[in-house]
Chain A
């Protein structure tokens, strides 16, 4: 059943988008922490890591005490949080790299590092986003 619904969702994406070229398999090609941050995270958390405020807000990563726990950013990326979609289409290596990057930059210097193995161990909790073409 799970597999069936995945196939259905996939077919719907293809039908809606019509651009099911191989390159559009979800995911990101970037390798290092700064690359991943620049091309993925800063869309919301902003180039300076300070977040932003409009009708609602994006939390700052700079000086964010929640990052003191090394696995906190990992779980947020794997599962998403409220309106933030999951970024489980990042690989274990990518998640570890960018988690370490945000924990050690923007004025942060939280001790400890995240390894890809630790991310892998949490994979079971990952939430898969549905990629759909909006109207």
Chain B
């Protein structure tokens, strides 16, 4: 897609793109099979029972996958123990709060200066309504959820190359795009261009639909009117009393709308992953990992860096060093092991699994991603611009500005997610010092919200390749590597199983880790019971 966009796009090719509905349906089917549009397969809480007397499972890592594994296996009667590299539970489920200190690889340290209650989620920040596994554990743990606002018609789309760099409201872009496409389609339909594609009867229905969808006038044209402004917003909205008469706004021209490429922001909230309704935990995504860690407090050993994993006929032994106290390496043992250490790290740890699983571990690159949080002295996006939650999209390297979905109308400070990047942009962001990340992000933000210059207070930036416990954001599978290795990364290798987002078809989402763990514990349990 990016390929297509780098060249000039003609009206015709744009039109062709829209018209190929059959192709799109087929494409979505293919996407679903590749997990791009996949839904959770969570089937409700699992009930394991009948663990053999005294059987134990050693779990490596206390992110979602490790904690779901430990929780369910313990409930089934297994003795469980978790080794965790960090000094906290949660893994990539993580929020940075005021007073926190974060040192990334390379030794760059940031002291988070946010006000009490304000936070940045460096990792996951939103939960789709269909990620029922995550939602189940949130409920179980008593973590309060609130709506996460994904789509905000009053947020912006911004391009440095269009409209003099002035942002447009999302509603203007969407209304104009839909309106012009509806106009073009109805025009070709009335000229008979689509006679082969639709019956005469359907044509009349479709024309009515296009008129309705695109807010077209009686001549099937997208023209300046109250009807149109009812979609894209008014120059002067309807009011009360003397000055109540509405004044319609001017639409962008068709050429400007196409050339601006701002229409590419329209798809952002249409994908299944991010369709409303979405949720977030009150107080930060990290509340989930924290609550789960509390539930499992007596089985997690923190500050434990695993340096070797060996299995033999009697079980699995992990050798680890205490990252705080140091000293001689120690060992932990289980009859079986569920290892949730990211492949980025696990590929560096000696582990005697078979060649197929080792190949799977060794052939999974980890993607780049960066997030930057900027604390502002006041919530100017709400006070000045009536933006309550949602996301602004920009062609600048920061890509997005996410507005907080909580504390609306509150006086005082607020934290913007002022950069969320991936791909080569994230690589470049990661290569910056934390101070540079914050400074650049502030510059980009000020191009959209000039108030940011004076209202900026403090910031923090996290590049995932510099995160000491993962060395990357998430497992980056391709169709080819899935075909070659996915089955093997899911296998039971002797007494060892792997789990995590990298062992799922929903990579980089918490739900992937949860479902992977549920699958692992169920298969391991039946394997053990059948073998006992």
Contacts and interface: CB of A to CB of B under 8 A. Distances in A.
Contacts of B273: 16, 135
A130 B273 CA distance: 18
Contact of A19 (B369, B399, B508): B399
B427 A134 contact: no
Given A22-B6, A132-B476, A58 B126 contact: no
A39 B431 contact: yes
A86 B480 CA distance: 14
Interface stretch (A43-51, A62-70, A97-105, A110-118): A43-51
B469 A54 contact: yes
A26 interface: yes
A17 B428 contact: no
A20 B471 contact: no
A42 B270 CA distance: 36
Interface stretch (B29-37, B42-50, B225-233, B521-529): B29-37
A20 B6 CA distance: 9
Nearest to B274: A16
The number of chain A residues touching the other chain, given as a range, is 35 or more
A7 B1 CA distance: 7
Contacts of A25: 2-3, 5-6
B31 A21 contact: no
B333 to A, nearest CB: 21
Interface string A1-31: 0001101111111111111111111111000
A40 B369 CA distance: 13
Interface in B82-123: 85, 105-107
Contacts of B356: none
B436 to A, nearest CB: 11
B249 interface: no
Given A21-B395, A54-B468, A83 B6 contact: no
Given A11-B31, A43-B427, A43-B466, A18 B369 contact: no
A34 interface: no
A8 B37 CA distance: 11
A89 interface: yes
A38 interface: yes
Contacts of A9: 34, 478-479
Nearest to B478: A130
Contacts, number: 204
Contact of A23 (B270, B395, B428, B509): B395
A13 B1 contact: yes
Contact of A27 (B395, B424, B477): B424
B367 A132 contact: yes
B344 interface: yes
Contact of B106 (A22, A47, A80, A133): A47
Contacts of A13: 1-2
Contacts of A39: 428, 431
Contacts of B362: 82
A134 B474 contact: yes
Contact of B508 (A47, A85, A134): A134
Given A18-B269, A25-B2, A58 B261 contact: no
Q: Which of B37, B105, B349, B369 has the most CB of A within 10 A?
A: B105
A130 B424 contact: no
B270 A15 contact: yes
B159 interface: yes
Contacts of B424: 26-28, 89, 131
A97 B265 CA distance: 35
Interface of A: 4-5, 7-28, 38-44, 46-47, 52-58, 80, 82-86, 89, 128-135
9 contacts: A11-B1, A39-B431, A44-B430, A55-B305, A55-B345, A82-B362, A83-B347, A130-B477, A135-B510
Minimum-distance CB pairs A-B, first 10: A18-B268, A54-B468, A134-B508, A83-B344, A43-B430, A21-B395, A56-B345, A52-B105, A10-B1, A85-B365
